[in-house]
Chains A and B, each alone.
Chain A
Amino acid sequence: MLELKNVTYAVGDKVILNDINLKTDDRFVAITGPNGSGKSTLVKIIMGLITPTTGQILFNGEDITHLSINERADKGISFAFQQPVRFKGLRVSDLLKLAYHGEKNIVDACEILREVGLEPKEYRDRELNDTLSGGEMKRIEIAMAAARGSALTLFDEPEAGIDLWSFHSLIRIFENLYAKTAGSIIIISHQERILNIADKIIYLKNGTVEAFGPKDDVLSYIANAEQKGVQQA
Protein backbone atom coordinates (compact mmCIF):
# COMPACT_ATOMS: atom_id res chain seq x y z
CA MET A 1 0.00 0.00 0.00
CA LEU A 2 1.38 3.34 -1.09
CA GLU A 3 0.11 6.60 0.26
CA LEU A 4 1.17 10.16 -0.52
CA LYS A 5 -0.04 12.87 1.83
CA ASN A 6 0.11 16.53 0.83
CA VAL A 7 3.24 16.03 -1.24
CA THR A 8 4.56 19.23 -2.75
CA TYR A 9 7.79 19.75 -4.63
CA ALA A 10 9.03 23.15 -5.63
CA VAL A 11 12.25 24.45 -7.08
CA GLY A 12 12.53 28.12 -6.14
CA ASP A 13 9.22 29.71 -7.10
CA LYS A 14 8.32 26.96 -9.52
CA VAL A 15 5.91 24.40 -8.11
CA ILE A 16 6.42 21.06 -9.87
CA LEU A 17 4.02 19.03 -7.75
CA ASN A 18 1.28 20.68 -5.74
CA ASP A 19 -0.33 19.00 -2.74
CA ILE A 20 -0.53 15.46 -4.09
CA ASN A 21 -2.74 13.08 -2.13
CA LEU A 22 -2.95 9.48 -3.32
CA LYS A 23 -3.61 6.10 -1.83
CA THR A 24 -3.26 2.91 -3.83
CA ASP A 25 -2.71 -0.80 -3.46
CA ASP A 26 -4.01 -1.68 -6.90
CA ARG A 27 -2.32 -4.25 -9.08
CA PHE A 28 -1.67 -1.99 -12.01
CA VAL A 29 -1.79 1.80 -11.96
CA ALA A 30 -0.92 4.04 -14.89
CA ILE A 31 0.16 7.65 -14.53
CA THR A 32 -0.55 9.82 -17.53
CA GLY A 33 -0.75 13.49 -18.36
CA PRO A 34 0.79 16.13 -20.58
CA ASN A 35 4.54 16.69 -20.80
CA GLY A 36 5.80 18.66 -17.84
CA SER A 37 2.88 17.68 -15.63
CA GLY A 38 5.21 16.18 -12.99
CA LYS A 39 4.85 12.44 -13.73
CA SER A 40 8.54 11.56 -13.57
CA THR A 41 9.05 13.79 -10.54
CA LEU A 42 6.26 11.95 -8.77
CA VAL A 43 7.81 8.49 -9.23
CA LYS A 44 11.26 9.81 -8.37
CA ILE A 45 9.81 11.10 -5.11
CA ILE A 46 8.32 7.67 -4.40
CA MET A 47 11.69 5.98 -5.04
CA GLY A 48 13.60 8.62 -3.09
CA LEU A 49 15.60 10.13 -5.95
CA ILE A 50 13.97 13.44 -5.13
CA THR A 51 13.02 14.68 -1.66
CA PRO A 52 9.66 16.44 -1.54
CA THR A 53 9.56 20.00 -0.23
CA THR A 54 6.71 19.09 2.07
CA GLY A 55 4.44 16.11 2.64
CA GLN A 56 4.71 12.47 3.56
CA ILE A 57 5.14 9.16 1.75
CA LEU A 58 3.91 6.00 3.42
CA PHE A 59 4.60 2.49 2.23
CA ASN A 60 2.72 -0.34 3.91
CA GLY A 61 1.82 2.08 6.68
CA GLU A 62 5.43 3.10 7.35
CA ASP A 63 6.63 6.67 6.82
CA ILE A 64 9.44 6.38 4.26
CA THR A 65 9.73 10.11 3.47
CA HIS A 66 13.21 10.33 4.92
CA LEU A 67 14.54 6.92 3.91
CA SER A 68 17.34 6.69 1.37
CA ILE A 69 16.89 5.12 -2.06
CA ASN A 70 18.46 1.81 -0.99
CA GLU A 71 16.45 1.68 2.22
CA ARG A 72 13.32 2.00 0.10
CA ALA A 73 14.68 -0.69 -2.24
CA ASP A 74 15.09 -2.96 0.79
CA LYS A 75 11.49 -2.24 1.81
CA GLY A 76 10.35 -3.48 -1.60
CA ILE A 77 10.30 -0.61 -4.07
CA SER A 78 12.10 -0.71 -7.40
CA PHE A 79 12.35 1.63 -10.33
CA ALA A 80 12.98 1.25 -14.06
CA PHE A 81 14.46 4.54 -15.26
CA GLN A 82 13.12 6.35 -18.30
CA GLN A 83 16.69 6.94 -19.45
CA PRO A 84 18.69 3.83 -18.50
CA VAL A 85 22.06 4.62 -16.98
CA ARG A 86 25.27 3.51 -18.70
CA PHE A 87 28.33 2.24 -16.83
CA LYS A 88 31.81 1.78 -18.24
CA GLY A 89 33.12 -1.59 -17.17
CA LEU A 90 30.00 -2.96 -15.51
CA ARG A 91 28.34 -5.80 -17.37
CA VAL A 92 24.72 -6.72 -17.91
CA SER A 93 25.26 -9.77 -15.67
CA ASP A 94 26.69 -7.63 -12.82
CA LEU A 95 23.51 -5.60 -12.54
CA LEU A 96 21.15 -8.53 -13.08
CA LYS A 97 22.92 -10.47 -10.34
CA LEU A 98 22.51 -7.46 -8.07
CA ALA A 99 18.84 -7.15 -9.07
CA TYR A 100 18.32 -10.72 -7.88
CA HIS A 101 19.82 -9.75 -4.50
CA GLY A 102 22.89 -11.81 -5.44
CA GLU A 103 20.89 -15.00 -4.96
CA LYS A 104 21.29 -16.34 -8.50
CA ASN A 105 24.42 -17.20 -10.40
CA ILE A 106 25.27 -15.22 -13.52
CA VAL A 107 23.82 -17.71 -15.99
CA ASP A 108 20.49 -18.07 -14.17
CA ALA A 109 20.22 -14.34 -13.48
CA CYS A 110 20.59 -13.57 -17.17
CA GLU A 111 17.79 -15.93 -18.23
CA ILE A 112 15.37 -13.07 -17.59
CA LEU A 113 16.79 -11.36 -20.69
CA ARG A 114 14.77 -13.80 -22.81
CA GLU A 115 11.63 -12.14 -21.50
CA VAL A 116 12.73 -8.86 -23.04
CA GLY A 117 13.68 -10.48 -26.31
CA LEU A 118 17.46 -10.59 -25.77
CA GLU A 119 19.54 -13.76 -26.01
CA PRO A 120 21.24 -14.19 -22.61
CA LYS A 121 24.44 -15.67 -24.03
CA GLU A 122 24.93 -12.71 -26.34
CA TYR A 123 24.25 -10.06 -23.76
CA ARG A 124 25.38 -11.20 -20.33
CA ASP A 125 29.03 -10.20 -20.80
CA ARG A 126 28.25 -6.99 -22.65
CA GLU A 127 29.27 -3.82 -20.90
CA LEU A 128 26.50 -1.36 -20.13
CA ASN A 129 28.34 1.29 -22.11
CA ASP A 130 27.51 3.14 -25.30
CA THR A 131 28.04 0.08 -27.47
CA LEU A 132 24.47 -0.89 -26.52
CA SER A 133 21.68 0.92 -28.34
CA GLY A 134 19.03 2.91 -26.52
CA GLY A 135 16.50 0.17 -27.22
CA GLU A 136 18.78 -2.54 -25.85
CA MET A 137 19.48 -0.49 -22.72
CA LYS A 138 15.77 0.02 -22.23
CA ARG A 139 15.01 -3.69 -22.42
CA ILE A 140 17.81 -4.49 -19.98
CA GLU A 141 16.42 -1.84 -17.63
CA ILE A 142 13.01 -3.53 -17.77
CA ALA A 143 14.61 -6.95 -17.23
CA MET A 144 16.33 -5.60 -14.10
CA ALA A 145 13.06 -4.36 -12.65
CA ALA A 146 11.43 -7.70 -13.46
CA ALA A 147 14.35 -9.58 -11.87
CA ARG A 148 14.12 -7.49 -8.73
CA GLY A 149 10.55 -8.68 -8.15
CA SER A 150 9.61 -5.95 -5.69
CA ALA A 151 6.27 -5.43 -3.97
CA LEU A 152 6.04 -2.07 -5.77
CA THR A 153 7.67 -1.55 -9.15
CA LEU A 154 7.77 1.84 -10.82
CA PHE A 155 8.26 2.05 -14.59
CA ASP A 156 8.92 5.42 -16.23
CA GLU A 157 7.71 5.16 -19.83
CA PRO A 158 8.85 1.57 -20.37
CA GLU A 159 7.52 1.40 -23.92
CA ALA A 160 9.50 4.39 -25.20
CA GLY A 161 12.23 3.42 -27.63
CA ILE A 162 11.48 -0.28 -27.87
CA ASP A 163 9.23 -0.22 -30.92
CA LEU A 164 10.99 -3.17 -32.54
CA TRP A 165 9.96 -5.32 -29.66
CA SER A 166 6.37 -6.40 -29.27
CA PHE A 167 3.98 -4.66 -26.98
CA HIS A 168 2.60 -8.07 -25.96
CA SER A 169 5.96 -9.05 -24.53
CA LEU A 170 5.93 -5.96 -22.34
CA ILE A 171 2.45 -6.82 -21.06
CA ARG A 172 3.63 -10.39 -20.40
CA ILE A 173 6.48 -9.02 -18.27
CA PHE A 174 4.04 -7.05 -16.17
CA GLU A 175 1.86 -10.15 -15.79
CA ASN A 176 4.80 -12.37 -14.85
CA LEU A 177 6.00 -9.76 -12.38
CA TYR A 178 2.58 -9.60 -10.80
CA ALA A 179 2.34 -13.40 -10.67
CA LYS A 180 5.67 -13.48 -8.85
CA THR A 181 5.09 -10.63 -6.40
CA ALA A 182 1.30 -10.18 -6.11
CA GLY A 183 2.40 -6.57 -5.66
CA SER A 184 1.72 -3.29 -7.39
CA ILE A 185 3.03 -1.88 -10.63
CA ILE A 186 2.94 1.84 -11.36
CA ILE A 187 3.67 2.86 -14.92
CA ILE A 188 4.10 6.26 -16.45
CA SER A 189 2.78 6.09 -19.98
CA HIS A 190 1.16 8.02 -22.79
CA GLN A 191 0.34 4.80 -24.63
CA GLU A 192 -3.33 4.07 -24.96
CA ARG A 193 -2.63 0.34 -25.04
CA ILE A 194 -0.96 0.54 -21.65
CA LEU A 195 -3.65 2.78 -20.18
CA ASN A 196 -6.21 0.23 -21.37
CA ILE A 197 -4.75 -2.58 -19.29
CA ALA A 198 -4.49 -0.47 -16.12
CA ASP A 199 -6.82 -1.04 -13.18
CA LYS A 200 -6.60 2.61 -12.24
CA ILE A 201 -5.26 5.73 -13.84
CA ILE A 202 -3.75 8.85 -12.30
CA TYR A 203 -4.15 11.89 -14.54
CA LEU A 204 -1.65 14.58 -13.68
CA LYS A 205 -1.80 18.10 -15.03
CA ASN A 206 0.26 21.13 -13.98
CA GLY A 207 1.55 19.27 -10.96
CA THR A 208 -1.83 18.32 -9.54
CA VAL A 209 -3.93 15.17 -9.65
CA GLU A 210 -6.78 16.08 -11.97
CA ALA A 211 -8.33 12.65 -11.82
CA PHE A 212 -7.63 9.35 -10.11
CA GLY A 213 -9.89 6.35 -10.33
CA PRO A 214 -10.87 3.27 -12.30
CA LYS A 215 -9.49 3.20 -15.83
CA ASP A 216 -12.77 3.80 -17.67
CA ASP A 217 -13.74 6.77 -15.50
CA VAL A 218 -10.42 8.51 -15.95
CA LEU A 219 -10.25 7.79 -19.68
CA SER A 220 -13.70 9.39 -20.08
CA TYR A 221 -12.58 12.30 -17.93
CA ILE A 222 -9.52 12.82 -20.14
CA ALA A 223 -11.62 12.53 -23.31
CA ASN A 224 -14.07 15.13 -21.98
CA ALA A 225 -11.31 17.44 -20.89
CA GLU A 226 -9.68 17.23 -24.31
CA GLN A 227 -13.07 17.84 -25.98
CA LYS A 228 -13.60 20.95 -23.85
CA GLY A 229 -10.12 22.11 -24.70
CA VAL A 230 -10.89 21.78 -28.41
CA GLN A 231 -14.24 23.63 -28.04
CA GLN A 232 -12.63 26.45 -26.06
CA ALA A 233 -9.96 26.79 -28.69
Chain B
Amino acid sequence: MTETEKHILKEVAALDALPVGAYNIRSNGKSAARNTTANIDIVTKEDVSGIDIVIKPGTKNQSVHIPVIISESGLKEVVYNDFFIGDDCDVTIIAGCGISNCGGQDSRHDGVHSFHVGKNSRVRYVEKHYGEGTGTGKRLMNPTTVVDLDKGAYMIMETAQIAGVDDTLRETNATLADDAMLEIHDKILTDGDQHATARMTVDMNGKDSSCDLISRGVAKGDSYQEVMLAINGKNACHGHAECDSIIMDNGIILATPALKAECVDASLIHEAAIGKIAGEQLYKLMTLGLDEKQAEEMIVRGFLR
Protein backbone atom coordinates (compact mmCIF):
# COMPACT_ATOMS: atom_id res chain seq x y z
CA MET B 1 0.00 0.00 0.00
CA THR B 2 1.34 3.47 -0.88
CA GLU B 3 1.71 6.27 1.65
CA THR B 4 -1.30 8.06 0.09
CA GLU B 5 -3.43 4.95 0.44
CA LYS B 6 -2.31 4.48 4.05
CA HIS B 7 -3.19 8.08 4.78
CA ILE B 8 -6.67 7.71 3.26
CA LEU B 9 -7.25 4.51 5.20
CA LYS B 10 -6.50 6.39 8.39
CA GLU B 11 -8.82 9.26 7.43
CA VAL B 12 -11.83 7.14 6.53
CA ALA B 13 -11.51 4.21 8.90
CA ALA B 14 -9.04 5.37 11.58
CA LEU B 15 -6.82 2.42 10.66
CA ASP B 16 -3.04 2.40 10.99
CA ALA B 17 -2.79 -1.30 10.23
CA LEU B 18 -5.07 -4.11 9.15
CA PRO B 19 -8.06 -4.24 11.48
CA VAL B 20 -9.04 -7.01 13.84
CA GLY B 21 -11.98 -9.14 12.71
CA ALA B 22 -13.53 -9.29 9.29
CA TYR B 23 -12.54 -6.81 6.63
CA ASN B 24 -12.43 -6.08 2.95
CA ILE B 25 -10.23 -3.26 1.75
CA ARG B 26 -11.03 -2.11 -1.75
CA SER B 27 -8.37 -0.12 -3.48
CA ASN B 28 -8.68 1.33 -6.98
CA GLY B 29 -11.51 -0.97 -7.95
CA LYS B 30 -10.02 -4.21 -6.61
CA SER B 31 -10.08 -6.07 -3.33
CA ALA B 32 -6.67 -5.36 -1.78
CA ALA B 33 -7.10 -7.36 1.42
CA ARG B 34 -9.81 -9.50 2.93
CA ASN B 35 -10.38 -11.46 6.09
CA THR B 36 -13.38 -13.48 7.15
CA THR B 37 -14.16 -14.99 10.54
CA ALA B 38 -16.16 -17.97 11.75
CA ASN B 39 -19.26 -15.76 12.02
CA ILE B 40 -18.72 -13.20 9.29
CA ASP B 41 -18.32 -14.18 5.67
CA ILE B 42 -17.48 -11.86 2.81
CA VAL B 43 -18.27 -13.06 -0.71
CA THR B 44 -17.52 -11.31 -3.99
CA LYS B 45 -20.60 -10.68 -6.10
CA GLU B 46 -20.64 -12.28 -9.52
CA ASP B 47 -23.21 -10.20 -11.37
CA VAL B 48 -22.09 -6.73 -10.32
CA SER B 49 -19.12 -5.17 -8.59
CA GLY B 50 -19.31 -5.51 -4.83
CA ILE B 51 -19.55 -7.94 -1.96
CA ASP B 52 -22.06 -9.73 0.23
CA ILE B 53 -21.33 -9.59 3.93
CA VAL B 54 -23.11 -12.36 5.74
CA ILE B 55 -23.25 -12.26 9.52
CA LYS B 56 -24.50 -15.35 11.32
CA PRO B 57 -27.37 -15.07 13.81
CA GLY B 58 -26.23 -14.47 17.38
CA THR B 59 -22.91 -12.82 16.43
CA LYS B 60 -22.00 -10.44 19.23
CA ASN B 61 -19.32 -7.78 19.69
CA GLN B 62 -17.71 -8.26 16.31
CA SER B 63 -16.80 -5.76 13.64
CA VAL B 64 -16.46 -5.53 9.88
CA HIS B 65 -14.32 -2.93 8.14
CA ILE B 66 -14.96 -2.26 4.46
CA PRO B 67 -13.04 0.90 3.50
CA VAL B 68 -12.68 2.01 -0.11
CA ILE B 69 -9.64 3.85 -1.42
CA ILE B 70 -9.35 5.56 -4.77
CA SER B 71 -6.03 7.10 -5.67
CA GLU B 72 -6.15 6.73 -9.47
CA SER B 73 -7.38 9.87 -11.18
CA GLY B 74 -10.29 9.18 -13.52
CA LEU B 75 -11.47 5.97 -11.86
CA LYS B 76 -15.23 5.66 -11.76
CA GLU B 77 -17.05 2.81 -10.09
CA VAL B 78 -20.43 1.67 -8.87
CA VAL B 79 -20.19 -0.83 -6.04
CA TYR B 80 -22.97 -2.84 -4.43
CA ASN B 81 -22.42 -4.11 -0.92
CA ASP B 82 -25.17 -6.15 0.72
CA PHE B 83 -25.19 -6.87 4.42
CA PHE B 84 -27.19 -9.81 5.67
CA ILE B 85 -27.26 -9.57 9.44
CA GLY B 86 -28.90 -12.48 11.22
CA ASP B 87 -31.20 -12.30 14.24
CA ASP B 88 -29.88 -11.35 17.69
CA CYS B 89 -26.58 -9.89 16.53
CA ASP B 90 -24.62 -6.98 17.96
CA VAL B 91 -22.07 -5.76 15.42
CA THR B 92 -20.18 -2.69 14.25
CA ILE B 93 -19.63 -1.95 10.60
CA ILE B 94 -17.05 0.61 9.58
CA ALA B 95 -17.31 1.74 5.99
CA GLY B 96 -15.95 4.84 4.31
CA CYS B 97 -14.47 6.07 1.10
CA GLY B 98 -11.48 8.25 0.45
CA ILE B 99 -10.51 9.69 -2.89
CA SER B 100 -7.12 11.21 -3.56
CA ASN B 101 -7.21 12.85 -6.94
CA CYS B 102 -4.06 14.53 -8.12
CA GLY B 103 -4.94 14.28 -11.79
CA GLY B 104 -7.12 16.13 -14.25
CA GLN B 105 -9.95 13.61 -14.56
CA ASP B 106 -12.91 13.19 -12.25
CA SER B 107 -12.82 10.25 -9.84
CA ARG B 108 -16.12 8.85 -8.65
CA HIS B 109 -17.33 6.23 -6.23
CA ASP B 110 -21.01 5.35 -6.05
CA GLY B 111 -21.56 2.92 -3.21
CA VAL B 112 -24.90 1.23 -2.76
CA HIS B 113 -25.14 -0.36 0.67
CA SER B 114 -28.14 -2.49 1.58
CA PHE B 115 -28.70 -3.66 5.11
CA HIS B 116 -31.02 -6.48 6.01
CA VAL B 117 -31.02 -6.45 9.78
CA GLY B 118 -32.53 -9.46 11.54
CA LYS B 119 -34.88 -9.54 14.50
CA ASN B 120 -33.61 -7.92 17.71
CA SER B 121 -30.19 -7.23 16.23
CA ARG B 122 -28.15 -4.13 16.99
CA VAL B 123 -25.94 -2.56 14.36
CA ARG B 124 -23.65 0.42 14.55
CA TYR B 125 -22.71 1.68 11.12
CA VAL B 126 -19.96 4.27 10.69
CA GLU B 127 -19.31 5.83 7.32
CA LYS B 128 -16.89 8.61 6.54
CA HIS B 129 -16.29 10.22 3.18
CA TYR B 130 -13.16 12.13 2.48
CA GLY B 131 -11.40 13.68 -0.48
CA GLU B 132 -7.98 15.18 -1.05
CA GLY B 133 -5.54 15.93 -3.83
CA THR B 134 -4.27 18.85 -5.82
CA GLY B 135 -5.55 17.86 -9.26
CA THR B 136 -8.25 19.67 -11.21
CA GLY B 137 -10.25 16.42 -11.49
CA LYS B 138 -13.26 16.33 -9.20
CA ARG B 139 -13.80 13.95 -6.30
CA LEU B 140 -17.34 12.67 -6.47
CA MET B 141 -19.22 10.31 -4.18
CA ASN B 142 -22.82 9.22 -4.33
CA PRO B 143 -23.65 6.84 -1.51
CA THR B 144 -27.01 5.13 -1.38
CA THR B 145 -27.97 3.33 1.78
CA VAL B 146 -30.95 1.06 2.01
CA VAL B 147 -31.93 -0.14 5.45
CA ASP B 148 -34.46 -2.80 6.27
CA LEU B 149 -34.93 -3.30 10.00
CA ASP B 150 -36.82 -6.38 11.11
CA LYS B 151 -38.89 -6.59 14.29
CA GLY B 152 -37.09 -5.16 17.32
CA ALA B 153 -33.92 -4.35 15.37
CA TYR B 154 -31.89 -1.26 16.19
CA MET B 155 -29.45 0.54 13.96
CA ILE B 156 -27.39 3.64 14.56
CA MET B 157 -25.73 5.27 11.57
CA GLU B 158 -22.95 7.77 12.04
CA THR B 159 -22.22 9.26 8.66
CA ALA B 160 -19.91 12.12 7.85
CA GLN B 161 -18.49 13.99 4.92
CA ILE B 162 -16.09 16.47 6.39
CA ALA B 163 -13.70 17.51 3.64
CA GLY B 164 -12.70 17.43 0.04
CA VAL B 165 -15.73 15.96 -1.75
CA ASP B 166 -16.75 18.15 -4.69
CA ASP B 167 -20.17 16.78 -5.38
CA THR B 168 -22.31 14.30 -3.57
CA LEU B 169 -25.80 12.91 -3.54
CA ARG B 170 -26.41 10.95 -0.36
CA GLU B 171 -29.59 8.92 -0.33
CA THR B 172 -30.82 6.90 2.59
CA ASN B 173 -34.03 4.91 2.51
CA ALA B 174 -35.14 2.91 5.50
CA THR B 175 -38.05 0.65 6.34
CA LEU B 176 -38.85 -0.19 9.94
CA ALA B 177 -40.85 -3.16 11.21
CA ASP B 178 -42.57 -3.41 14.62
CA ASP B 179 -40.47 -2.13 17.55
CA ALA B 180 -37.55 -1.32 15.26
CA MET B 181 -35.49 1.78 15.91
CA LEU B 182 -33.24 3.81 13.63
CA GLU B 183 -30.92 6.61 14.64
CA ILE B 184 -28.99 8.63 12.08
CA HIS B 185 -26.35 11.23 12.85
CA ASP B 186 -25.25 12.83 9.62
CA LYS B 187 -22.62 15.53 9.29
CA ILE B 188 -21.63 17.47 6.21
CA LEU B 189 -19.09 20.23 5.70
CA THR B 190 -18.85 21.87 2.30
CA ASP B 191 -16.49 24.58 1.17
CA GLY B 192 -15.39 26.27 -2.05
CA ASP B 193 -17.86 25.47 -4.83
CA GLN B 194 -18.82 22.04 -3.49
CA HIS B 195 -22.35 20.71 -3.70
CA ALA B 196 -23.94 18.23 -1.34
CA THR B 197 -27.42 16.82 -1.31
CA ALA B 198 -28.61 14.50 1.43
CA ARG B 199 -32.02 12.86 1.30
CA MET B 200 -33.24 10.56 4.01
CA THR B 201 -36.58 8.82 3.90
CA VAL B 202 -37.83 6.57 6.65
CA ASP B 203 -40.96 4.47 6.30
CA MET B 204 -42.20 3.60 9.74
CA ASN B 205 -44.33 0.63 8.85
CA GLY B 206 -44.12 -1.17 12.17
CA LYS B 207 -46.11 -0.65 15.33
CA ASP B 208 -44.06 1.16 18.01
CA SER B 209 -41.18 1.76 15.64
CA SER B 210 -39.15 4.89 16.16
CA CYS B 211 -36.54 6.98 14.42
CA ASP B 212 -34.32 9.90 15.25
CA LEU B 213 -32.70 11.66 12.29
CA ILE B 214 -30.14 14.31 13.15
CA SER B 215 -28.42 16.24 10.43
CA ARG B 216 -25.73 18.84 11.00
CA GLY B 217 -24.31 20.84 8.16
CA VAL B 218 -21.83 23.65 7.69
CA ALA B 219 -21.69 25.44 4.33
CA LYS B 220 -18.65 27.65 3.79
CA GLY B 221 -17.28 29.52 0.79
CA ASP B 222 -19.65 29.40 -2.19
CA SER B 223 -20.85 25.89 -1.40
CA TYR B 224 -24.40 24.60 -1.62
CA GLN B 225 -26.17 22.06 0.58
CA GLU B 226 -29.57 20.51 0.36
CA VAL B 227 -30.96 18.37 3.13
CA MET B 228 -34.27 16.59 3.02
CA LEU B 229 -35.49 14.56 5.96
CA ALA B 230 -38.70 12.67 5.37
CA ILE B 231 -40.56 10.47 7.81
CA ASN B 232 -43.65 8.51 6.86
CA GLY B 233 -45.58 7.32 9.89
CA LYS B 234 -47.69 4.42 8.76
CA ASN B 235 -48.41 2.94 12.18
CA ALA B 236 -48.28 3.89 15.86
CA CYS B 237 -44.73 5.25 15.92
CA HIS B 238 -42.43 8.04 17.05
CA GLY B 239 -40.36 9.96 14.54
CA HIS B 240 -38.07 12.89 15.17
CA ALA B 241 -36.01 14.78 12.62
CA GLU B 242 -33.63 17.59 13.39
CA CYS B 243 -31.77 19.61 10.84
CA ASP B 244 -29.30 22.09 12.17
CA SER B 245 -27.00 24.12 9.94
CA ILE B 246 -24.38 26.81 10.13
CA ILE B 247 -24.03 29.04 7.14
CA MET B 248 -20.82 30.97 6.47
CA ASP B 249 -19.42 33.24 3.75
CA ASN B 250 -21.62 32.87 0.64
CA GLY B 251 -22.85 29.37 1.45
CA ILE B 252 -26.38 28.31 0.62
CA ILE B 253 -28.42 25.77 2.55
CA LEU B 254 -31.83 24.39 1.69
CA ALA B 255 -33.44 22.32 4.44
CA THR B 256 -36.68 20.53 3.71
CA PRO B 257 -38.59 18.69 6.37
CA ALA B 258 -41.29 16.29 5.26
CA LEU B 259 -43.52 14.54 7.75
CA LYS B 260 -46.35 12.34 6.62
CA ALA B 261 -48.69 10.66 9.08
CA GLU B 262 -50.93 7.91 7.81
CA CYS B 263 -51.96 6.67 11.23
CA VAL B 264 -53.66 8.61 14.00
CA ASP B 265 -51.16 7.21 16.51
CA ALA B 266 -48.11 8.38 14.57
CA SER B 267 -46.22 11.06 16.48
CA LEU B 268 -43.81 12.98 14.25
CA ILE B 269 -41.68 15.99 15.08
CA HIS B 270 -39.36 18.07 12.97
CA GLU B 271 -36.96 20.81 14.00
CA ALA B 272 -34.86 22.85 11.60
CA ALA B 273 -32.55 25.78 12.11
CA ILE B 274 -30.11 27.57 9.84
CA GLY B 275 -28.01 30.44 11.02
CA LYS B 276 -24.59 31.95 11.14
CA ILE B 277 -22.29 31.49 14.11
CA ALA B 278 -23.65 33.63 16.93
CA GLY B 279 -21.54 36.66 17.77
CA GLU B 280 -21.75 35.80 21.46
CA GLN B 281 -20.17 32.41 20.77
CA LEU B 282 -17.22 34.04 19.03
CA TYR B 283 -16.90 36.60 21.82
CA LYS B 284 -16.85 33.92 24.50
CA LEU B 285 -14.04 31.97 22.87
CA MET B 286 -12.14 35.19 22.19
CA THR B 287 -12.28 36.04 25.90
CA LEU B 288 -10.53 32.69 26.35
CA GLY B 289 -7.72 33.78 24.05
CA LEU B 290 -8.70 32.57 20.57
CA ASP B 291 -8.70 34.96 17.66
CA GLU B 292 -11.84 35.19 15.56
CA LYS B 293 -10.74 32.62 12.98
CA GLN B 294 -9.63 30.11 15.62
CA ALA B 295 -12.90 30.63 17.47
CA GLU B 296 -14.86 29.99 14.29
CA GLU B 297 -12.90 26.81 13.62
CA MET B 298 -13.45 25.53 17.15
CA ILE B 299 -17.21 26.18 16.93
CA VAL B 300 -17.46 24.37 13.58
CA ARG B 301 -15.31 21.46 14.81
CA GLY B 302 -17.51 21.07 17.89
CA PHE B 303 -20.71 21.37 15.87
CA LEU B 304 -19.60 18.58 13.53
CA ARG B 305 -18.02 16.43 16.23
Contact = CB atoms under 8 A, between A and B. Distances in A.
Interface of A: 47, 49, 68-70, 73-74, 78-79, 81, 83, 85, 87-91, 94-95, 98-99, 101, 144, 148
A68 B294 CA distance: 14
Contact of A78 (B287, B301, B303): B287
Contacts of A47: 287
A49 B290 contact: no
Contacts of B280: 81, 83, 85
B255 to A, nearest CB: 16
Interface of B: 216, 244, 278, 280-281, 283-292, 295, 298-299, 301-305
A88 B303 CA distance: 6
B286 A144 contact: no
16 contacts: A69-B286, A70-B287, A70-B290, A70-B295, A73-B287, A81-B280, A85-B280, A87-B303, A88-B302, A89-B303, A89-B304, A89-B305, A90-B299, A95-B284, A101-B289, A144-B288
A49 B286 CA distance: 10
B291 A98 contact: no
A70 B302 contact: no
Nearest to A79: B287
A87 B281 contact: yes
B286 A70 contact: yes
Contacts of A69: 283, 286-287
Give the dominant DSSP class at B's interface. helix
A73 B244 contact: no
A98 B302 contact: no
A72 B208 CA distance: 56
Contacts of A85: 278, 280-281, 283-284
Which of B281, B288, B292 is packed against the most chain A CB atoms within 10 Å?
A: B288
Which 5 A/B pairs are nearest by Cβ-Cβ distance?
A: A89-B302, A90-B302, A69-B286, A85-B284, A70-B286
Given A70-B286, A89-B216, 11 more contacts: A47-B287, A70-B290, A78-B287, A85-B280, A87-B299, A88-B244, A88-B303, A89-B301, A90-B299, A94-B302, A98-B290
Give the dominant DSSP class at A's interface. mixed
A204 B280 CA distance: 25
Contacts of B288: 73, 78, 95, 98-99, 144, 148
A101 B285 CA distance: 12
Contacts of A98: 285, 288-290, 298
Contacts of A68: 286, 291-292
Contacts of B290: 70, 98
A70 B301 CA distance: 20
B289 A74 contact: yes
A177 to B, nearest CB: 15
Contacts of A99: 288
A49 B280 CA distance: 9
A53 B160 CA distance: 46
Nearest to B290: A70
A87 B302 CA distance: 8
Contacts of A73: 286-289
A98 B290 CA distance: 9
Contacts of A148: 288
Which of A47, A68, A98 is packed against the most chain B CB atoms within 10 Å?
A: A98
Contacts of B281: 85, 87
A57 B259 CA distance: 55
A69 B303 CA distance: 23
A140 to B, nearest CB: 11
Nearest to B303: A89
Nearest to B277: A87
Nearest to A49: B283
A130 to B, nearest CB: 12
B148 to A, nearest CB: 31
